[in-house]
């Protein structure tokens, strides 16, 4: 490319930062034409501009950005296409571009280095296919060479960090020691440049996945941890934050190696960080312990070896977190939350889980007390204060974080905190009433969205507190709760936004608490329930209403009978409604079983039409047009419905099922023959139904069950990992043996 053309290209590149939109559009258009005309030549020209220190910083930066944008993309597919395109360039072109971008490292006067990004993106393309073999050693030399300038060391470390961040796992395995040497060299306290130390610390964070072998060696791990912990004490806040981020990631990746460092280093370092006046540092201290909690919860789930660091630190962390949550900086506006306060909320979630798990009894009962009990009331009080806001944007997200923390604290509360839970219920109810009043005066879309979100959060929080209340608490507060929820249903009628679904879920939780006492609310609630069942446009609402129907039947037993005609009519209509989302239909089938089990002989009036529907549903076969998951859910529901009917019909009433026995057993056999496709839960349901049929029909059922398919199916169930499937399969097999014995005696 001639010097004249190069000067023209430089002028165009400088226009890419022009505030004039016309100039900017012109420049971008010319650059696109140049790239589409001869891309290899264009990229070579860009690399020449980038490496030439006599060019303006603006032109060099723009050249680097253009070069980078033709090497990679956020879209994985496009990025793959760019990589394949790069391989098709002539060798001489690729080598010249690589030479220029590597030579440009350390020659820029701006941060971050564009050359470092270009080097990294070419490295990500070439290193996996064993090209550019001298690159890593060259970068390492630029860092450790005593003659290297500050900019050379910094840009080389930036390039290393970018490479480690984006390279395929395993590509750098043989060079990980070289990279680690350079990174640790850059992080040393002896390094005079904070810019270099920051680049090195960031590079270490990006390279941690590749250092597993180093962390497995005591001496190497000790040295790495010494350097990282030392960096957390740096007076430069940016380096301190980067080092703390590194510790957070180390804790997540290498938890099993951290015991030697916890008491003497990690614990005091992270607590000091949490006390920091700099939010960015405090956030990392909080994030460290949030990650510890998450890791130890996962270990408990997976039966892994936990060191219980969070349990031991709770009594130190709780007061600090409360202090952080309540701290009001002089420059803060009254309604301003810092990001650190949001992190405090998330930390309370992990800590409450850890405290509750540590206090759990062997029987799995609610513990009498736990390590957060002394701080429980003040935590709840300040979380409630933090959630009591009606504003938008980021503040809304922070409000949600506080509500999530509040719900988790309530869920994980011991017995000695019950009084606080009771008081919290009253507060949530008062807020719900206040929001319902506000709802009547909302006109614009933004405020409507905020109100809907707040109502959903309050309903979810109401569920949390209701689940922790005692049975004797329920009658004292249920009237007020139902009055509020009925008002919410009325105010949200005909409006979308998911509020009705959340309110229905809250009613479901109240039913769990009240049981048969919920009957007194049915005259007022019935119309709301039917409205939800008929809400085909918002199928999640309809699905919640169907699930709630089953809950009500199970709770009220025969007291639901006066409402059954209208409920059954609506459910049957829903089954044949083509516009209703198919995911609701298995729930409807399950509701039939719940109703049959609850009302017994009163279900006979619906029996024939329900059995015909179950027959049709059980005959539905998988084909290319029907999702397997839907069929599986439907079959599970059919099994449950048959079970509910069999168990609900007593004495001679069950004989109405006799004409359908052959079909039911045939349905079970079809499920049994689905080799490899029968889930443990469906196996348990089918086995339970077999056992119930044996109990109800006795010896006359034996000829239908005397089949190798059934025998092998139950034998497989006995070997299931699911305890319920194993237990029910064993019981069903024994029931078959019993009716066989009785049948033989009768003969």
pLDDT digits (tens, 9 = 90+) for 16-58: 888 888 888 888 888 888 888 899 999 999 999 999 999 999 9
Poorest-confidence range of 476-490, 557-571, 625-639, 676-690? 625-639
Residues 541 and 664 in one domain: no
Residues 573 and 444 in one domain: yes
Considering its fold, how many domains does the chain have in total?
Answer: 3
Q: 205 near 251, Cβ under 8 Å?
A: no
The C-alpha atoms of residue 332 and residue 274 are separated, in whole angstroms, by: 19
Residues 385 and 434 in one domain: no
Q: Which of 566, 581, 596 is the last residue of a domain?
A: 581
Contacts of 246 (CB under 8 A, 6+ apart): 201, 204, 205, 208, 228, 231
Average pLDDT over every residue of 158-178: 89
Taking the CA atoms of 639, 640, 643 and 649 in sequence, report the sign of the dihedral they define: negative
Residues 557 and 423 in one domain: yes
The overall average pLDDT reported for the chain is 89
- Reference 530, options 493, 496, 555; nearest CA is 493
The C-alpha atoms of residue 106 and residue 157 are separated, in whole angstroms, by: 10
Alpha helix positions (H), 469-560: 474-492, 499-514, 522-533, 539-556
Residues 543 and 454 in one domain: yes
Q: Which of 404, 426, 456 is the last residue of a domain?
A: 404
CATH number of the domain where residue 308 is located: 1.25.10
- So what's the pLDDT on residue 401? 86
Q: Give phi and psi for 413, each to the nearest 5.
A: -95, 140
Asked, for residue 543, whether it belongs to a domain, the answer is yes
Average pLDDT over every residue of 218-240: 95
Q: With 90 as the cut, is the pLDDT of residue 261 above it?
A: yes
Q: 498 near 540, Cβ under 8 Å?
A: yes
Q: With 80 as the cut, is the pLDDT of residue 745 above it?
A: no
Q: Which of 346, 378, 404 is the last residue of a domain?
A: 404
- So what's the pLDDT on residue 389? 59
Residues 615 and 650 in one domain: yes
pLDDT digits (tens, 9 = 90+) for 549-558: 999 999 999 9
- Domain boundaries, position 522: 414-581
Asked, for residue 211, whether it belongs to a domain, the answer is no
- In terms of C-beta density within 10 A (0-12 exposed, 13-18 middle, 19 or more buried), how is residue 190 classed? exposed
- So what's the pLDDT on residue 6? 80
- So what's the pLDDT on residue 391? 47
- Reference 457, options 398, 514, 372, 511; nearest CA is 398
Q: What is the pTM of this model?
A: 0.76
Q: With 90 as the cut, is the pLDDT of residue 99 above it?
A: yes
- So what's the pLDDT on residue 675? 60
What helix, strand, coil percent values describe the chain, rounded to 5? 80, 0, 20
Average pLDDT over every residue of 558-578: 96
Poorest-confidence range of 54-58, 165-169, 221-225? 165-169
**Segment holding 668, helix H or strand E:** helix 661-672
- So what's the pLDDT on residue 615? 94
Asked, for residue 633, whether it belongs to a domain, the answer is yes
Residues 272 and 302 in one domain: yes
Q: With 50 as the cut, is the pLDDT of residue 194 above it?
A: yes
Asked, for residue 147, whether it belongs to a domain, the answer is no
Pick the more confident residue, 295 or 340.
295
Asked, for residue 471, whether it belongs to a domain, the answer is yes
Residues 475 and 570 in one domain: yes
- So what's the pLDDT on residue 622? 63
DSSP annotation of 367 reads P
Contacts of 339 (CB under 8 A, 6+ apart): 279, 283
pLDDT digits (tens, 9 = 90+) for 454-478: 899 999 999 999 999 999 998 899 9
Residues 376 and 437 in one domain: no
Residues 420 and 391 in one domain: no
Pick the more confident residue, 607 or 349.
607
The C-alpha atoms of residue 716 and residue 690 are separated, in whole angstroms, by: 15
Q: Report the percent of the chain where pLDDT is more than 90.
A: 64
Asked, for residue 104, whether it belongs to a domain, the answer is no
Asked, for residue 89, whether it belongs to a domain, the answer is no
Asked, for residue 714, whether it belongs to a domain, the answer is yes
Residues 392 and 500 in one domain: no
Poorest-confidence range of 1-15, 229-243, 336-350? 336-350
Map residue 123 onto helix, strand or coil: helix
Residues 316 and 380 in one domain: yes
Pick the more confident residue, 150 or 7.
150
Pick the more confident residue, 427 or 354.
427
pLDDT band, residue 447 (cuts 50/70/90): confident
What are the DSSP calls for 203-235, one per residue?
Answer: HHHHHGGGGHHHHTSHHHHHHHHHHHHHHTT-S
pLDDT digits (tens, 9 = 90+) for 591-638: 999 999 999 999 999 999 999 999 999 988 765 444 478 888 999 999
């Amino acid at each position: 490319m001639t010097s004249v053309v190069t000067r023209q290209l430089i002028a165009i590149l400088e226009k890419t930062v022009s505030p004039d939109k016309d100039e900017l559009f012109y420049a971008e258009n010319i650059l696109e034409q140049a790239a589409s005309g001869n891309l290899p030549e264009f990229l070579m020209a860009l690399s020449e501009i980038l490496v030439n220190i006599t060019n303006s910083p603006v032109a060099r930066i723009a050249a680097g950005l253009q070069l980078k944008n033709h090497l990679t993309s956020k879209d994985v597919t496009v990025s793959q296409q760019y990589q394949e395109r790069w391989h098709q360039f002539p060798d001489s072109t690729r080598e010249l571009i690589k030479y220029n971008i590597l030579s440009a490292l350390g020659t820029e006067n701006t941060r971050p280095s564009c050359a470092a990004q270009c080097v990294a993106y070419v490295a990500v393309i070439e290193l996996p296919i064993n090209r550019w073999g001298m690159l890593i050693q060259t970068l390492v030399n630029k860092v450790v060479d005593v003659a290297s300038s500050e900019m050379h060391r910094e840009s080389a470390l930036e390039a290393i960090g970018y490479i480690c961040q984006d390279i395929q796992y395993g590509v750098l395995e043989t060079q990980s020691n070289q990279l680690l040497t350079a990174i640790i060299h850059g992080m040393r306290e002896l390094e005079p440049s904070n810019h270099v130390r920051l680049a090195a610390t960031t590079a270490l964070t990006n390279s941690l996945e590749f250092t597993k072998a180093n962390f497995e060696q005591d001496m190497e791990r000790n040295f790495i941890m010494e350097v990282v912990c030392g960096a957390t004490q740096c007076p430069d806040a940016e380096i301190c934050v980067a080092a703390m981020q590194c510790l957070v990631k180390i804790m997540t990746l290498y938890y099993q190696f951290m015991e030697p460092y916890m008491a003497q280093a990690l614990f005091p370092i992270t607590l000091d960080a949490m006390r920091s006046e700099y939010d960015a540092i405090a956030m990392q201290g909080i994030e460290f312990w949030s990650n510890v909690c998450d890791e130890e919860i996962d270990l408990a789930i997976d039966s892994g070896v936990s060191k219980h660091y969070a349990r031991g630190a709770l009594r130190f962390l709780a007061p600090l977190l409360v202090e952080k949550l309540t701290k009001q900086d002089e420059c803060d506006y009254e309604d301003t939350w810092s990001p650190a306060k949001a992190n405090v909320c998330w930390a309370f979630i992990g800590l409450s889980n850890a405290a509750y798990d540590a206090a759990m009894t062997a029987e799995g009962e609610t513990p009498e007390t736990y390590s957060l009990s002394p701080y429980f009331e003040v935590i709840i009080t300040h979380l409630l204060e933090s959630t009591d806001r009606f504003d938008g944007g980021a503040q809304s997200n922070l409000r949600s974080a506080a509500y999530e923390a509040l719900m988790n604290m309530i869920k994980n509360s011991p017995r000695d905190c019950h009084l606080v839970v009771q008081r919290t219920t009253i507060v949530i109810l008062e807020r719900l009433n206040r929001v319902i009043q506000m709802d009547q005066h909302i006109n614009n879309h933004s405020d409507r969205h905020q109100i809907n979100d707040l109502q959903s959060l309050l309903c979810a929080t109401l569920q949390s507190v209701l689940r922790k209340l005692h049975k004797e608490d329920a009658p004292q507060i249920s009237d007020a709760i139902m009055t509020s929820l009925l008002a919410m249903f009325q105010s949200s009628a005909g409006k979308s936004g998911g509020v009705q679904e959340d309110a229905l879920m809250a009613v479901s939780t109240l039913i769990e608490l009240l049981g048969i006492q919920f009957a007194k609310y049915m005259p007022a609630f019935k119309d709301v329930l039917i409205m939800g069942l008929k809400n085909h446009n918002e199928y999640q609402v309809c699905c919640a209403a169907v699930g709630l129907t089953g809950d009500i039947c199970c709770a009220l037993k025969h007291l639901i009978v006066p409402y059954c005609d209208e409920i059954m009519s609506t459910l049957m209509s829903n089954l044949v409604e083509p516009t209703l989302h198919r995911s609701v239909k298995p729930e409807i089938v399950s509701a039939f079983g719940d109703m049959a089990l609850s009302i017994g002989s009163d279900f006979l009036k619906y029996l024939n039409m329900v059995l015909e529907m179950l027959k049709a549903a059980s005959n539905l076969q998988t084909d290319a047009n029907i999702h397997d998951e839907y069929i599986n859910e439907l079959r599970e529901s059919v099994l449950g419905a048959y079970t509910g009917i069999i168990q609900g019909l007593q004495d001679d009433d069950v004989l109405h099922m006799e004409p359908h026995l052959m079909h039911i057993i045939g349905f079970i056999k079809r499920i049994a023959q689905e080799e490899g496709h029968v889930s443990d839960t469906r196996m348990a349901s089918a086995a339970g139904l077999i056992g119930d049929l044996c109990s109800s029909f006795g010896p006359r059922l034996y000829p239908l069950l005397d089949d190798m398919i059934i025998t092998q199916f139950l034998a497989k169930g006995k070997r299931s990992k699911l305890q319920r499937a194993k237990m029910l399969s064993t019981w069903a097999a024994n029931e078959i043996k019993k009716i066989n014995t009785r049948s033989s005696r009768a003969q």
